[in-house]
Amino acid sequence: MKLDGIWMESIELDKIVPIYVENVSKRAVEKMVKILEGGDQLSSHVIVEKDRTEDKYWLVAGYPA
């Protein structure tokens, strides 16, 4: 879906690779997993950039954890 010039789509989590290191507690990760498994969405959208050669997406911004 394209909204205000921004392309939005669902991407498999295992295809997203962070470009920076962030320390996140195990509890915070478990909370995010429960939210996603329950079919809910995270509080914000992540911004990714598709890799030009591989089937993966680089996490640019939006959810540091």
Query: Which residues lie below 8 Å from residue 7, measured CB to CB, with a gap of 6+?
Result: 1
Report the alpha-carbon distance of residue 48 to residue 56 in Å, rounded: 10
Query: Which residues lie below 8 Å from residue 22, measured CB to CB, with a gap of 6+?
Result: 64, 65
User: How do residues 2-60 score in pLDDT, each as one tens digit?
Assistant: 666 666 677 887 888 877 666 667 787 788 778 778 877 666 677 888 899 999 988 88
pLDDT higher at 63 or 54: 54
Identity at 4, one-letter amino acid code: D
Per-residue confidence (pLDDT) for residue 53, from 0 to 100: 95
* Residue 65: pLDDT over 80: no
Q: How many of the other CB atoms lie within 10 Å of CB of 16?
A: 14
Task: Give the DSSP letter of residue 15.
Answer: G
pTM of the entire predicted model: 0.52
